[in-house]
Chains A and B, each alone.
Chain A
């Protein structure tokens, strides 16, 4: 058996196991739901964290997503992958939460804190600005990761979700298309715009 067919077999077995758990959940088996949750909680938590930029909010949102998933699991007919269906719920819940938090100036407050940190930290002791690294010199440090998250918070939620799903979580265009109910061409053009916005924000931040 080749490596490819082995991977295919493993993926198919995983999907079957998942379907079994889903069937049990549909009959109200909470233990099966707990197992399903353990399979997906890390991905969903990281998605919500990247969407909201706050651990506390991400945890709350993840809880709400799984509760909504359990309540609506009878509507899952197995036509799409469970993860696709789960992400559809996550996207809806995230959109609503972002609207809710925006109304309460959550993101504006976050930006304010970030600006304050940048203004007070980015200058050298002599009062001269640090020499900005070129993109080739960007390396993943805690500070860069923070600034990337700030840029994610800065770009529009629609661009953010597509960037998180594709460039951070690595979903394919077909999967994105199914999750977002969009044509692959639309997904692609939105992703291009999102990447451009992210690139500009990073250049601006790392000047």
Chain B
């Protein structure tokens, strides 16, 4: 055996894993070979030093701190959770759910971009700016019409008319006589007026209109969404029939009806 072979036995020698014969051979070699002896000696000493390193006592407050931290936490993971679950599992489940939801939305949403129906303020190109660009002026038109008594009712609680798009504001005002004040709170609680107006709006512009209506006040738009979802194919032109009834606090807007 050469020096390399003997040196490869050093660790087994340190761990006491050599047979008696191997041990004797190695010891004999170490007596005759100075480079091997030096290497062995430094390795042995290194291990001795590591063995002799002092052990420290942990800080006295350690367990108290841990117990205090545990008090402020949810104690256990849920019972179905196991440490043996693969790490990728949550990610995989999340990705699959996201995919399924996306496909589902794609199927049921009438608009080209499904999120437009969910988030009226989202833009077609998906860009996120704090102030969306103003839509073209021919966005929607208003004409008089008759209320559809079978139509469901949406309620808009007016807070501030002046926050809406200028054009919508003036159009809404022009169809309500006497003109609605800028702030509903300034109206007399006893005054009452009812007006019917009808908006025609292109389907893709609906989010903008809804956003503007939201600016006026709180709008329950679930009816709009239901109606839009129910008619995914007819989205090019939508008529909105609005009855403005004001008793000092509420303005009611009648349903959206699909245009022909």
Contact = CB atoms under 8 A, between A and B. Distances in A.
B131 interface: no
- Secondary structure of the B side of the interface? helix
Contact of A195 (B43, B71, B76, B84): B43
A42 interface: yes
A197 B39 CA distance: 13
Nearest to A49: B56
Contacts of B82: 74-75
Contacts of A108: none
Interface range for B: 35 or more
Given A67-B69, A168-B51, A74 B42 contact: no
A35 to B, nearest CB: 10
A192 B87 CA distance: 31
Interface stretch (A4-12, A114-122, A134-142): A134-142
A135 B41 contact: yes
Contacts of A98: none
A68 to B, nearest CB: 10
B76 A167 contact: no
B53 A38 contact: no
Interface string A22-51: 000000101001100110011001100110
A94 interface: no
B50 interface: yes
Contacts of A45: 56-58, 62
Contacts of A198: 46, 50
A41 B63 contact: yes
A140 B58 contact: no
B56 A167 contact: no
A195 B62 contact: no
Interface range for A: 35 or more
Interface in B55-78: 55-59, 62-63, 65-67, 69-71, 73, 75-77
A203 B43 CA distance: 10
Nearest to B82: A75
Interface string A183-206: 000001001100110110011000
A28 B66 CA distance: 15
B47 A195 contact: yes
A199 B49 CA distance: 10
A70 interface: yes
A73 B83 CA distance: 9
A62 B73 CA distance: 17
Nearest to B45: A135
A163 B51 CA distance: 10
Given A67-B73, A191-B11, A148 B67 contact: no
Contact of A37 (B50, B66, B71): B66
A57 interface: no
19 contacts: A37-B66, A41-B62, A41-B63, A45-B56, A45-B58, A55-B56, A63-B65, A74-B77, A135-B38, A136-B45, A148-B50, A167-B47, A167-B50, A170-B51, A173-B15, A188-B11, A196-B43, A202-B46, A202-B49
Given A70-B70, A135-B46, A136-B45, 10 more contacts: A38-B63, A42-B57, A59-B58, A67-B70, A71-B77, A72-B77, A75-B77, A75-B83, A163-B50, A199-B43
Interface of A: 28, 30, 33-34, 37-38, 41-42, 45-46, 49-50, 55, 59, 62-63, 66-67, 70-75, 135-136, 138, 140, 144-145, 148, 163, 167-168, 170, 173, 188, 191-192, 195-196, 198-199, 202-203
